[in-house]
Structure 1
């Protein structure tokens, strides 16, 4: 009973413990041929229907005496193996979903794309072999690592990660610069990839230091066969002046360089925006007025992280020193979505195509960007953690979602969330939505009580006998902090009551 009562909580914890091995030994060990690694990965990446539908009608795990998947699990070398049979038993209690035919194709800046999912301009798309592998796995396009007329000298190491409790990768910092290949090598990559993958979309990210360089780069990537040009106005840590985010913070430079690029190409041009600014609409509008066909947002956020307790140096450490770098990963998604919403809500930018990025790990993250108006999605940090294979669950998860909601095309969800975010002074303020407590699921841990007393409105107490929460409606303001901290998902939104009806008023 408890397994089913807490199955979602248990499954999240168990899937989160999987090492997500390459060439997973658990799958090789399964005598029944189950795709154990893929099933766990599906659930981990929010593709629950994909996980459930990969289980056979008659689950063989409990009758499998030796359970070789457990002895093969590499996590067992650390502490305990992932409880694969128990996980699959819980998953088998879900109803299998039907996946109808849905269309993931979408036009972006007039260019037809087989799906909305692209690699973003970074190390994950920086040579022929890498991009070819990604295309073979299902990615529709790539924004190739930024091309310049110079080759930068890189530092080592150049990556670091932000951790929280048991989470090893909340955010990510890099001090990587533009492509470390020569211009000639990069142009050859474009030609070869377009020759071998003519239906895939190649976005050439470029960065110049003068108007002449921007025009020249636009010309040569156009001649090489690029489909779209992305102007990198936003790298947060380029070493020379007049590059990266220094450009993106200056609407006059954005305008001048956009015009310079348009001189050198007939292709659609994207202006990639920096988040290191208060109002992204200002440089975005300058780019569009100068001829940009679309916007790419957001690039990484200027950051410092992980100051060492002994050396007082933050990461990544380069011979005892570091520098400000670019912050990315899941933690930046809310910031990216805020900027996307601001641009899509601007009357002069509402119709401008946006390629969205910033913290996209799963199809659900991608959905949020598309619901706020993006027609195209770019991904980097998730690939750096998990590999190109995340595209499988992005595609399948989106297909299951669209099918389950009666949509026929991914185009139908673009912008559907925009009307639901309104100015704060227009929000309903005459009522309170009280939390609802599931007494069966509550384990009496007191987390809700602690948070409410120490960080809320002292509206909860713990019952002496059961230790379960007792709410004082006169003190509760309906903030729902209790629901957010509950570790077993036993608190949800309950009844909404008009304030003038509370306490006999």
Structure 2
């Protein structure tokens, strides 16, 4: 609970409503030279210490009478401006950083300045884009998948899933591999390695036969790539026998991995599809055939937004669509489940892991690292917010690690694995009742309604105040009430033995 009631809720809400403008007018309007846009962005991406560090001890917002920043806020044209004055006041009470940890990691025996990579997609599609990303702070990039052919693309290619006020819960694409020629892509890779020799450049490739896989891996090696990533997982290639069709077949995965190994001495990553029940089987096949590591997950096969008027689904291509790849924050729990399975698989001991799927913040990335990844890859968040998000990923991770007493990011790799057990091994002889903080309770009744209709009817509302009263004889400690409380007024209580 913050020192100021509802402080953290206000900061999340206001930062979440900020439009994150390019060339933000609020910053240009500030008479004190503060960067409200940068502070809001840090808060949006969970870099709270970074936000606090950008504010002076004597906050000029306290005496500002003009509110020029709020008058300039473009969100004011929609629903009302971000409450910048309150955000600055509340952010000034947040913990400031006391140090910064080292984010350097070793991945496939390569030194990476931090764990943050662009994944193989439209965000890593040409020299100009990747050069700009490297200059912004990304440690590496996986070049958009290269083949010996140029696909014919459709228009439009993207659509998003929305929920309530959230405009971007999940994202669907039906884009294929690079639309540039093989020669153009090789030229880009050569120039990137000349201009950014300390950055890690991963060449993603996709062949249609063993011969093509071997040829492509050899060409990428000659061009100067640091790592080869095999795209065994794209869910929407137009031709059969490509992408996830390969990734669901361990025999093909093994054959194509061996073909890639014949063409290169570089480290090889096999990028896995989540469109199957057991990812370990093709991953083992790739590792035993010569891959050095596994990248996971690629996008999930999906159908999105069927219009009840036209019965057309998105993205609509001349009245039709196809199954495409689903990504974004909504897929993160699924990605983490697969990463955990790969991490604990005995036959994959020694395989390097590069994780992806719904990563937007340093905290998302930390979850993947804690489950065994050494690097993480990002696409959808960059498409939504731009390359600049890496600034808060780097800063937030450095400050968090130092605040917890870690000197290096490597110290948290795999730390969560001992805490994930088979369901039968969990403690089933005790209960954690919810603890109600009545001073922060709004009396809205959300906990009551959820417990009544989706729980165990263990809560009733106090007459007059509407605040919750718990019946411990009915409560099973499921914590549904805690999950739905909009005010953060419910926390886990002390764990006690059952029937006590």
Task: Give TM-score, length-normalised by structure 1.
Answer: 0.98
2:70 is the alignment partner of 1:38: no
Cα distance in 1 between the residues matched to 2:215 and 2:359? 33
2:81 is the alignment partner of 1:71: no
Asked if the contact 2:158–2:172 (Cα under 8 Å) also holds between the matched residues in 1, the reply is yes
SS in 2 for 1:277: coil
Runs of 5+ unmatched residues, structure 1: none
Match of 1:201 in 2: 200
Match of 1:366 in 2: 365
Asked if the contact 2:2–2:8 (Cα under 8 Å) also holds between the matched residues in 1, the reply is no
Runs of 5+ unmatched residues, structure 2: none
Match of 1:27 in 2: 27
2:141 is the alignment partner of 1:142: yes
Deviation of 1:12 after TM superposition, in Å, equals 0.9
Deviation of 1:65 after TM superposition, in Å, equals 1.5
Match of 1:217 in 2: 216
Paired residue total: 500
Match of 1:17 in 2: 17
Cα distance in 1 between the residues matched to 2:495 and 2:191? 60
Q: Please give the per-residue CA displacement for 1:22-66, whole angstroms capped at 9, x wherever unaligned.
A: 010000110100011000000110000000110111011131121
2:126 is the alignment partner of 1:127: yes
Cα distance in 2 between the residues matched to 1:485 and 1:118? 34
Asked if the contact 1:160–1:315 (Cα under 8 Å) also holds between the matched residues in 2, the reply is yes
Match of 2:467 in 1: 468
Superposition pairs for residues 44-193 of structure 1, below 5 Å?
Answer: 44-100=44-100, 102-193=101-192
Match of 1:427 in 2: 426
SS in 1 for 2:348: coil
Asked if the contact 1:248–1:274 (Cα under 8 Å) also holds between the matched residues in 2, the reply is yes
Superposition pairs for residues 87-486 of structure 1, below 5 Å?
Answer: 87-100=87-100, 102-486=101-485
Asked if the contact 2:169–2:329 (Cα under 8 Å) also holds between the matched residues in 1, the reply is yes
| Consecutive aligned runs of 4 or more in structure 1 exceeding 3 Å deviation | none
Deviation of 1:350 after TM superposition, in Å, equals 3.1
SS in 1 for 2:346: coil
Asked if the contact 1:344–1:351 (Cα under 8 Å) also holds between the matched residues in 2, the reply is no
Cα distance in 1 between the residues matched to 2:131 and 2:234? 25
Asked if the contact 2:401–2:407 (Cα under 8 Å) also holds between the matched residues in 1, the reply is yes
Task: Give TM-score, length-normalised by structure 2.
Answer: 0.99
Deviation of 1:500 after TM superposition, in Å, equals 3.2
Cα distance in 2 between the residues matched to 1:495 and 1:400? 30
Q: Please give the per-residue CA displacement for 1:240-263, whole angstroms capped at 9, x wherever unaligned.
A: 011000000000000000000000
Q: Please give the per-residue CA displacement for 1:252-292, whole angstroms capped at 9, x wherever unaligned.
A: 00000000000000000000000000000000000001000
Cα distance in 2 between the residues matched to 1:180 and 1:138? 26
Cα distance in 1 between the residues matched to 2:194 and 2:355? 27
Deviation of 1:98 after TM superposition, in Å, equals 1.2
Cα distance in 2 between the residues matched to 1:186 and 1:206? 11
Cα distance in 2 between the residues matched to 1:380 and 1:409? 25
Cα distance in 2 between the residues matched to 1:2 and 1:303? 40
SS in 2 for 1:500: coil
Asked if the contact 1:3–1:90 (Cα under 8 Å) also holds between the matched residues in 2, the reply is no
Deviation of 1:3 after TM superposition, in Å, equals 9.5
Cα distance in 2 between the residues matched to 1:484 and 1:281? 32
Change (3 A) 1:255 1:2: closer
Deviation of 1:225 after TM superposition, in Å, equals 0.4
Cα distance in 2 between the residues matched to 1:108 and 1:93? 38
SS in 2 for 1:61: helix
Asked if the contact 1:211–1:257 (Cα under 8 Å) also holds between the matched residues in 2, the reply is yes
Deviation of 1:2 after TM superposition, in Å, equals 11
Cα distance in 2 between the residues matched to 1:181 and 1:33? 44
SS in 2 for 1:451: helix
Deviation of 1:348 after TM superposition, in Å, equals 1.4
Cα distance in 2 between the residues matched to 1:370 and 1:8? 26
SS in 2 for 1:155: coil
Q: Please give the per-residue CA displacement for 1:466-493, whole angstroms capped at 9, x wherever unaligned.
A: 1100000000000000000000100000
